[in-house]
Amino acid sequence: MTSPEMVYCAQCQRRVSFHVDRVNHGQQLLLTLLTVGIWLPVWLTMVFRPARLCDECGNPIWRD
């Protein structure tokens, strides 16, 4: 079994494991259609640059 990748969390002030939430594409499609496409850049950002969330505190871990 491999150990999970550890990253530094500024909130916890230590190295922690993290997880990435899956994108709900149905919801993102609905938001894109309701906003006449304005939401599309946000959706694409969520797909190609997913947020890493700390397993300890749940806060986002910002990329270096």
Tell me the longest C-alpha to C-alpha distance in the chain.
46
Contact criterion met (CB below 8 Å) for 27 and 35: no
Mean of the pLDDT values across residues 7-12? 90
When pLDDT is cut at 50, 70 and 90, the band that residue 1 belongs to is: very low
Q: Does 57 have pLDDT greater than 90?
A: yes
Contact criterion met (CB below 8 Å) for 50 and 23: yes
pTM (global) more than 0.75: no
Q: Does 33 have pLDDT greater than 60?
A: yes
Computed over every residue of the chain, the mean pLDDT equals: 89
Q: Does 4 have pLDDT greater than 90?
A: no
Burial 3-26 (b: 16+ CB within 10 A, else e): eeeeeebeeeeeebebeeeeeeee
